[in-house]
């Protein structure tokens, strides 16, 4: 039998989509209302939630790809200007938000191409000196 305090906690955080307000059944526990709303929104199947989920996934993929590129350069002693990750992130988010359709950035003999496919998923291609290709 949960204590009264625990019951209050469970009742406090509504697990509902932030766009359509649909409540979604869950047995997960949350530490804040924002966390519960975010989790429900990531599970909801409404149109706005679907776009939000895709944007969140694309940004995570972009951030991870930028990290991989930076790590690759570091491991291979390739000098990458410290502003480059920010430039890639800025351009990548503009693509995710459909402000621009694709971008290709040449950094010396390295090239980073960012675009989206027909499904709206972000594609990041990193080419170094014509030989190495990293596609994520
Ligand atoms: Zn929804």
Please write the tens of the pLDDT for every residue from 87-134. 999 999 999 999 999 999 998 888 999 999 999 999 999 987 756 666
Per the structure, how many domains does the chain have? 2
- Phi, psi values for residue 127, rounded to 5°: -120, 130
Burial of 11 (0-12, 13-18, 19+ CB in 10 A): exposed
Task: Give the domain range for residue 19.
Answer: 4-42
54 shares a domain with 109: yes
Q: Looking at the structure, do residues 111 and 77 belong to the same domain, yes or no?
A: yes
Whole-structure pTM value: 0.77
Which among 132, 119, 109 is positioned nearest to 61, based on CA atoms?
119
pLDDT in tens, 45-68: 999 999 999 999 999 999 999 999
In the reported structure, the alpha carbon of residue 67 is separated from the centroid of ligand 1 by a whole-number distance in angstroms of 31
Residues 111, 52: one domain?
yes
Q: Which DSSP symbol is given to 113?
A: E
Cα of 57 vs centre of ligand 1, distance in Å, is 17
Q: Which of 18-32, 69-83, 110-124 has the lowest average pLDDT?
A: 69-83
CA-wise closest residue to 93 among 69, 85, 68: 85
Question: 26 and 54, same structural domain?
Answer: no
Looking at the structure, tell me whether residues 68 and 34 fall in a common domain: no
Burial class (CB in 10 A: 0-12, 13-18, 19+), 58: buried
Instruction: Measure the CA–CA gap between 87 and 72, rounded to whole angstroms.
Output: 17
Q: How many Å lie between the centroid of ligand 1 and the Cα of residue 38?
A: 11
Same structural domain, 120 and 76: yes
Which residues share a beta bridge with 116? 122
83 and 65 inside one domain: yes
User: Same domain for 36 and 89?
Assistant: no
Radius of gyration of the CA atoms of the chain, in A = 20
CA of 133 to the centre of ligand 1 (A): 38
pLDDT score, position 4:
54
32 shares a domain with 14: yes
Token pair belonging to 94: 């503009």
Do 61 and 127 sit in the same domain of this protein?
A: yes
Instruction: Tell me, yes or no, whether 106 and 130 share the same domain.
Output: yes
Same domain, residue pair 37 and 55: no
């Amino acid at each position: 039998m949960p204590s009264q305090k625990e019951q209050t906690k469970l009742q406090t955080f509504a697990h509902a989509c932030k766009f359509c307000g649909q409540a979604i059944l869950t047995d997960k526990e949350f530490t804040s209302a924002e966390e519960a709303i975010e989790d429900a929104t990531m599970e909801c199947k409404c149109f706005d939630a679907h776009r939000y989920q895709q944007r969140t996934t694309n940004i995570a993929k972009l951030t991870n790809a930028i990290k991989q590129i930076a790590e690759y350069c570091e491991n291979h002693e390739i000098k990458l200007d410290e502003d480059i990750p920010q430039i890639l992130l800025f351009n990548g988010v503009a693509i995710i938000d459909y402000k621009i359709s694709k971008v290709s950035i040449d950094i010396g003999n390295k090239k980073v191409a960012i675009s989206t496919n027909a499904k709206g998923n972000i594609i990041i291609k990193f080419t170094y000196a014509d030989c190495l290709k990293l596609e994520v």
